[in-house]
Structure 1
Amino acid sequence: MKMARHLAVSVFICLLSLGVSYPLIKGKPDDKGSNRLHINETNTNATDPADRCAEEGFGAMTLDDQGVMHYFRDSFVWTGFRGKAQYINETWPGLTGPVDAAFRIHNKEQPQLHQRTYVFKGSRVWSFFEGRPVSGYPRPISQEFPGVPDNLDAAVECHSGECKTDSVIFFKGGKVYIYSPHEVPPVKERRWSALGNCTAAVRWLERYYCFKGTNFTRFDPVSGEVLSPRLLDTRDYFVSCPGRGHGEAAMRNATFASIKNRCSGRPFEAFSSDDKGRTYAFRGGWYFRVDSSKDGWHAWPLNHTWRTLQGPVDTVFNWENKMYFIQGSQVIIYLTDQIYVPVLGYPKSLQEELGLTEVDAAFTCPLSSELYVIKGNKLQMVDLKKTPRVPGEEKVIAHTQVDSAMCNTHGIYLFQGPVYYHYLNVGQLLTASQWPKPGNISVNFFDC
């Protein structure tokens, strides 16, 4: 029997309901920014222009190509959750503040442009990659982004699948300009009256945020619909400020902190990888997006992505653009095309859906309908294409217990405690008489 995992999480209901977390940086859960010139090392005076907690908020925000968040205001820039003020021209060569807008472009079809950071000021745009200015910049905005106005208020990239195509959303004076270079016309003008104008905007972990001074809200990048129940304060979520922070009492709870800390060594209840290469790790009612390290590896409550899902999960697997969650004796399914939409008629019982009563771990390999289920030291195959679904013959494997399992283009991974075991395919798993050399989950999956 799989160990009981359903921890008491009621004390954290306020965190779950808001679904917003701190934007920590890859490999740096206690980031203090870069080691360049620091200004105002101990300042807490909100009237000081070099104070990241000042009432003015930020004029622009963006992630760079390394997944590090940058906050711009006047002549200064702050790096990361706890970064100190630095002069913009000290860290962004050739650029002085204030800047109007910034974003990190997403364009996999043109690798020479992909992951560049663009910064806007007046009628010109600068481009940077790996901390260095790109040759040929600055350029006129009208030349780089035809149809987009000068003197912008904010800008944010939108990825294909979240928008129709890879696009950039520009804000100016209450109007929205959606720049899609592969469409005709390339610029579409909108008014999102519910959202209003943004003084800064950023995409982080597939979510879109509009900032107005120190306040911010989450929004739909296609419709402009406001998705946050109320305005939130940047100083409680995006930057560290004295005496502020969302859920500080809960964060002091050692168990809760270890659940949200990807490097804690605490076991994960489930791992899953889909045909699009998205990989998730699940622990205690929270999840980590493992494959998007450049957006920061950070824990999110399940219902922030899967809106009706709460509490720990036992097993997760994917098949035909659907994501299956097993919680106890129930199965819940979500469509995965663009956003995760619950499939009508679920949850259903595990027996009704898969012909099983208990599962320790389960996995499907890319583009395959064969679901492999592990219970104790037994492996069974269920063909998901068949109706009704009937588990096949039980076969013995070398492992007597696993927490979770996953299969991707690199092979099969069995997870147990803080380590994992890698097999090239199901045949190797079935014929192995002893375990392969274990790997460290925190080190090899989370870069701890």
Structure 2
Amino acid sequence: LLTLLSLKRDTDNQKLLTKWRSPAAVPDRCQGIEMDAVTVNEDGIPYFFHSGFLFKGFHGAAERANETFTELDEHQHLGHVDAAFRLHYEDHPTEHNNIIFFLDTQIFSYYQHKLEGGYPKNISEVYPGIPDHLDAAVECPKPECEEDSVIFFKGDEIFHFNFKTKAVEMKEFTSMPNCTSAFRFMEHYYCFHGHNFSKFDPKTGEVHGRYPKEARDFFMRCSKFSHDHVERERCSRAHLDAITADNEGDMFAFRGQSFICALTVPGGFGGLFRIKHLIESKFIYRTSHFTARFQDEHVFAYRVGENHTLLDGYPKTVKEELGIEGPIDSAFSCDEHQHVHVVKGQLMYDVDMAASERNATNERSIMFPSDAAMCGPRGVTLVKGNHFYHFDTLKLLFSRAVPERHQVSLELFGCDH
């Protein structure tokens, strides 16, 4: 009887491995799957893990995780990775930049895709106080956290592990969902849940902005989904992050990772383009020599030309660039290009960009705050939500006459609603 039970167990295990290895079992990231773990390799290339498979970068087919991390082959029966992160610990150069995996109760440490000696180890041995069977983990180097740390997620429990002291601090991230994987990319933090994600503050867990968002809109390039995304994004009623215009009067709108070109021809639409890197610009202003975008509390200035290159000394804080404390709502420049007009709540200020020491001056009230603003040959446009208001001159912003309200999706992007 024991022999028969053993044979049945071996047969069941073989069937499970055969099913797991069959071509039909290979996942397609464009189907909206949930990732088990997300991290970046030593070169900053994102690695997405799902059920024993690995997606490298933002596009391309899945491959088996054990083809890149061979020692995981011994644990293939698990069929998954619980959590992963790239270790950031400059005080210990022998560990810095290792990729760390968590599988049930064990931890694997890789350097340049080779398993470090002595691994795997028990999680409790390397990270005392951290539970087994984790949901997600992400590195948090200083000063983004107080000390070089790792944030661990298990259900609704959050653990901050301090590398220096080995102390574990429990956190409550009440404004974000439970993470099935977590990811640090370009110094921002993302919690994945299902095929959606939310950006969060690693110290407080606060989620700022309109989240959750669809991962395939930002972290994956899927041809059919992207085609559908163009129409959905163009006609979305979600607010714009920024809007500007060039000298020809053509308008360029920004929403999330999408760059939407809206021509001045009535109902014209110049196309939707993806920004090369994941950025969420709050607003943009242009001068004769550079274009500036704002991300969180920092200003990035790029030289005008075919290849927009970041100017020396940037990024800077909003205070350094404009002489006003952030956050602010929008900013734009008009024909003279020397002054930038800054909107903060229902107040507007002027900043002389030619001054050696910049200050926000000439405070005055406007009708309402705005999500985005621009100035072009036809006047000033303020965008609030899915509506915009046009003013023939800058002075009209300070009058009491409320202009006609227009719909962004219908009148700027030529949608039917």
- The normalised TM-score by structure 2 is 0.55
Range with greater deviation from structure 2 (233-242 or 195-204): 233-242
Amino acid in the other structure paired with 1:324: E
- 1:329 equivalent in structure 2: 338
Q: What displacement does 1:329 show?
A: 2.3
1:155 to 112, 131, 137: 137
- 2:181 equivalent in structure 1: 200
- 2:99 matched to 1:117? yes
- For 1:310 and 1:160, the matched residues in 2 are separated by 21
Alignment map for 1:262-341 (pairs within 5 Å): 298=277, 300-303=279-282, 306-307=295-296, 317=313, 323-324=320-321, 328-330=337-339
2:163 to 181, 203, 217: 181
Amino acid in the other structure paired with 2:109: S
* 1:94 aligned counterpart, secondary structure: helix
- For 1:312 and 1:163, the matched residues in 2 are separated by 27
- For 2:197 and 2:112, the matched residues in 1 are separated by 28
- 1:72 equivalent in structure 2: 49
Equivalent pair of 1:124/1:141 in contact (CA under 8 Å): yes
Q: What displacement does 1:236 show?
A: 2.3
Alignment map for 1:245-256 (pairs within 5 Å): 245=226, 248=230
Q: What displacement does 1:152 show?
A: 0.3
- For 2:232 and 2:301, the matched residues in 1 are separated by 18
Range with greater deviation from structure 2 (174-183 or 231-240): 231-240
Equivalent pair of 1:302/1:311 in contact (CA under 8 Å): no
- 1:57 equivalent in structure 2: 34
- For 2:179 and 2:219, the matched residues in 1 are separated by 16
Alignment map for 1:76-91 (pairs within 5 Å): 76-91=53-68
- 2:227 matched to 1:230? no
Equivalent pair of 2:300/2:315 in contact (CA under 8 Å): no
Q: Larger RCO: Structure 1 or Structure 2 (Cα < 8 Å, ≥ 6 residues apart)?
A: 1
- For 1:285 and 1:313, the matched residues in 2 are separated by 16
> Residues 346 and 187 (structure 1 numbering): CA distance in 2 closer, same or farther, change over 3 Å?
farther
- For 2:321 and 2:299, the matched residues in 1 are separated by 14
- For 1:250 and 1:308, the matched residues in 2 are separated by 29
- For 2:320 and 2:93, the matched residues in 1 are separated by 30
- For 2:109 and 2:297, the matched residues in 1 are separated by 41
Query: C-alpha offsets along residues 147-166 of structure 1, whole Å, 9 cap, x if unaligned?
Result: 11111000011121221122
Q: What displacement does 1:251 show?
A: 11
Equivalent pair of 1:53/1:235 in contact (CA under 8 Å): yes
Q: What displacement does 1:89 show?
A: 1.0
- 1:135 equivalent in structure 2: 117
- 2:127 matched to 1:145? yes
Query: C-alpha offsets along residues 303-345 of structure 1, whole Å, 9 cap, x if unaligned?
Result: 2853589998779656997542696323689xxxxxxxx9xx9
> Residues 314 and 189 (structure 1 numbering): CA distance in 2 closer, same or farther, change over 3 Å?
same
Equivalent pair of 2:26/2:62 in contact (CA under 8 Å): no
- For 1:332 and 1:146, the matched residues in 2 are separated by 53
> Residues 302 and 312 (structure 1 numbering): CA distance in 2 closer, same or farther, change over 3 Å?
farther
Equivalent pair of 1:63/1:104 in contact (CA under 8 Å): yes
- 2:147 matched to 1:170? no
> Residues 140 and 67 (structure 1 numbering): CA distance in 2 closer, same or farther, change over 3 Å?
same
- For 2:279 and 2:298, the matched residues in 1 are separated by 12
Equivalent pair of 2:36/2:82 in contact (CA under 8 Å): yes
- The normalised TM-score by structure 1 is 0.51
Query: C-alpha offsets along residues 404-430 of structure 1, whole Å, 9 cap, x if unaligned?
Result: xxxxxxxxxxxxxxxxxxxxxxxxxxx
Amino acid in the other structure paired with 1:141: I
- For 1:320 and 1:64, the matched residues in 2 are separated by 28
> Residues 349 and 73 (structure 1 numbering): CA distance in 2 closer, same or farther, change over 3 Å?
closer
Amino acid in the other structure paired with 1:120: F
CA RMSD of aligned residues (A): 4.4
- For 1:137 and 1:297, the matched residues in 2 are separated by 37
Structure with more helix by fraction? 2
Amino acid in the other structure paired with 1:199: T
Range with greater deviation from structure 2 (226-235 or 322-331): 322-331
> Residues 329 and 102 (structure 1 numbering): CA distance in 2 closer, same or farther, change over 3 Å?
same
Query: C-alpha offsets along residues 162-187 of structure 1, whole Å, 9 cap, x if unaligned?
Result: 2112211100021000111224x711
> Residues 319 and 192 (structure 1 numbering): CA distance in 2 closer, same or farther, change over 3 Å?
closer
Amino acid in the other structure paired with 1:302: S
- For 2:341 and 2:30, the matched residues in 1 are separated by 42
> Residues 347 and 161 (structure 1 numbering): CA distance in 2 closer, same or farther, change over 3 Å?
farther
Query: C-alpha offsets along residues 388-446 of structure 1, whole Å, 9 cap, x if unaligned?
Result: xxxxxxxxxxxxxxxxxxxxxxxxxxxxxxxxxxxxxxxxxxxxxxxxxxxxxxxxxxx
* 2:55 aligned counterpart, secondary structure: strand
> Residues 299 and 73 (structure 1 numbering): CA distance in 2 closer, same or farther, change over 3 Å?
closer
Structure 1 residue runs of 5 or longer lacking an equivalent are 1-37, 253-282, 289-295, 334-341, 356-381, 386-448
Equivalent pair of 1:98/1:121 in contact (CA under 8 Å): yes
Amino acid in the other structure paired with 2:295: W
- 2:202 matched to 1:221? yes
Structure 2 residue runs of 5 or longer lacking an equivalent are 1-20, 235-251, 258-274, 284-293, 305-310, 323-331, 359-417
Number of residue pairs the alignment of both structures matches: 272
Equivalent pair of 1:284/1:312 in contact (CA under 8 Å): no
